[in-house]
Amino acid sequence: MDYNPFEAMKFSYENCFLCGVKLNENNNSDEHVFPKWLLHKYNLWNKTIHLLNNTQIKYKDIKIPCCKECNNQYLSNIEKEIESVVTSGFNTFNSLDLNSLSKWLLKISYGMLFKELSLKLDRKDSSLGNITTEELLKSRNMVHIFLQGIKVEMNFSMNVPWSLLKFKLLREEDSPNFDFGDIIANNFMYTVMDDIGVIFCYGDNGIGKEMFDDKYSYFYDYALHPVQFYELCAKVFYKNSLFNKNPSYTIIAASKNPEKIDVISHNVSGSVFNDWDQFEYSKILDYFIKRSGYNAKIEFVKPDKVSTFLSYNSFDNYIKYNSLELNDFEIIKK
């Protein structure tokens, strides 16, 4: 792979974001980070999303440079696959190959990063520099390499480099039919699409999913109220923010333009998470519950009790929240 935009710290609109080919009037195209089918389905064209510099940009304007080959061939195939299963609903979506879904999510995350790196911290004062930092940029080097799996066969030895969780959601009148959050500094994403809820943590070697499955796999068997999904987002995000390792990878490719790439994920050892703090978690939970659209006050009672909207017998140090008239937020069997 001879193209790496991270080496020179330049995100040029003169090159394809995926393969790096020089763009000209014959091969140039725009790749919508949020695909057109998604913008149509959820009427997002003129809706806005917040950037890291606290400004807003319309979904339709989040475009990055792409050559026609990558756009019309490789990316188009992924979009068709994702559109089909999202349109069909969770039961079909749940059968989707995780590699396809992870590529789609990585493209969105990388596309958002690319767009933010091309914008100034303050559009009125360019001397302040770009939105994100050089350190944050360097830390996303592997994301671009993983994205090459869109074009070539990519095999992972040991663990996949991410945790991906899928949930079926109940549809409520006041709940959003689409939501998206990308907390770049913590390698965390989530999205809501009708009855589909997805949580994605990249760069953790699957440790987040392993720990979630060990304690909370119970919830895969139920359709969750949207506010319950956002609580799970809070749990996964906060746990992910405590991850204190920097996983390393060995990339094996036969040439600069290989047809196959092998990725070896090296195991991390020792204590991989800092200590959980219930008070800090309560603040994270409050943020995510507000994202859900429900006006519910999150309580923290010393020394370690926090409100919960989940119903699960082992939650000894949580306060069951039942002040809203939603069947006490009992989870419902699929």
Is there a domain that residue 314 lies in? no
Q: Are residues 204 and 79 in the same domain?
A: no
What is the model's pLDDT at position 43?
Answer: 96
Provide the CB-side half-sphere exposure for 249 (13 A, CA): 26
Cβ atoms of residues 260 and 251 within 8 Å: no
Q: Are residues 62 and 77 in the same domain?
A: yes
SS3 of residue 5 by DSSP? coil
Sign of CA dihedral 292, 94, 217, 186: negative
Is there a domain that residue 293 lies in? no
**Amino acid occupying residue 272:** V
What is the model's pLDDT at position 4?
Answer: 63
Distances in Å between the Cα of 184 and the Cα atoms of 12, 235, 293 are: 20, 17, 22
Is there a domain that residue 305 lies in? no
Q: Are residues 95 and 3 in the same domain?
A: yes
Q: Are residues 262 and 174 in the same domain?
A: yes
* Residue at a domain's end among 128, 151, 174: 151
- Nearest to 320, CA basis, from 238, 235, 231, 218: 231
Is there a domain that residue 114 lies in? yes
- Name the residue range of residue 116's domain: 1-151
- Give this prediction's pTM: 0.87
Question: How big, in percent rounded to 5, are the helix, strand and coil portions of the chain?
Answer: 35, 25, 40
Q: Are residues 22 and 128 in the same domain?
A: yes
Cβ atoms of residues 106 and 26 within 8 Å: no
Q: Are residues 167 and 147 in the same domain?
A: no
**Amino acid occupying residue 253:** A
Is there a domain that residue 323 lies in? no
Q: Are residues 12 and 128 in the same domain?
A: yes
Q: Are residues 157 and 107 in the same domain?
A: no
Q: Are residues 210 and 127 in the same domain?
A: no
Segment (H or E) for 330? none
What is the model's pLDDT at position 329?
Answer: 38
Q: Are residues 5 and 106 in the same domain?
A: yes
Q: Are residues 182 and 61 in the same domain?
A: no
Burial (Cβ within 10 Å: 0-12, 13-18, ≥19) of residue 306 = buried
- Nearest to 107, CA basis, from 146, 69, 152: 146
Total tally of structural domains belonging to the chain: 2
**293 — alpha (psi -120 to 50), left (phi > 0) or beta?**
left
Is there a domain that residue 318 lies in? no
- CA-based angle 304:306:309, to the nearest 5? 150
Q: Are residues 118 and 174 in the same domain?
A: no
Distances in Å between the Cα of 205 and the Cα atoms of 57, 150, 161, 185 are: 32, 19, 4, 17
* Residue at a domain's end among 282, 303, 320: 282
**Amino acid occupying residue 239:** K
List of residues 6+ apart from 136 with CB closer than 8 A = 184, 185
* Residue at a domain's end among 108, 127, 151: 151
Q: Which residue has the tokens 């939970």?
A: 285
Is there a domain that residue 332 lies in? no
pLDDT tens digits, the chain, 334 residues: what are they? Answer: 555 655 655 567 888 989 889 999 999 999 999 999 999 999 999 999 987 767 789 999 999 999 999 999 999 999 999 999 999 999 999 999 999 999 999 999 989 888 877 665 445 555 545 555 555 655 677 888 888 899 889 998 878 899 999 999 988 776 779 999 998 878 899 999 999 999 999 889 899 999 899 888 888 888 888 888 999 999 999 999 999 988 888 888 877 667 888 988 888 888 889 999 999 999 999 999 998 888 788 888 888 888 888 765 434 444 444 433 333 333 333 3
- How many Cβ atoms from other residues are within 10 Å of residue 239's Cβ? 22
Is there a domain that residue 6 lies in? yes
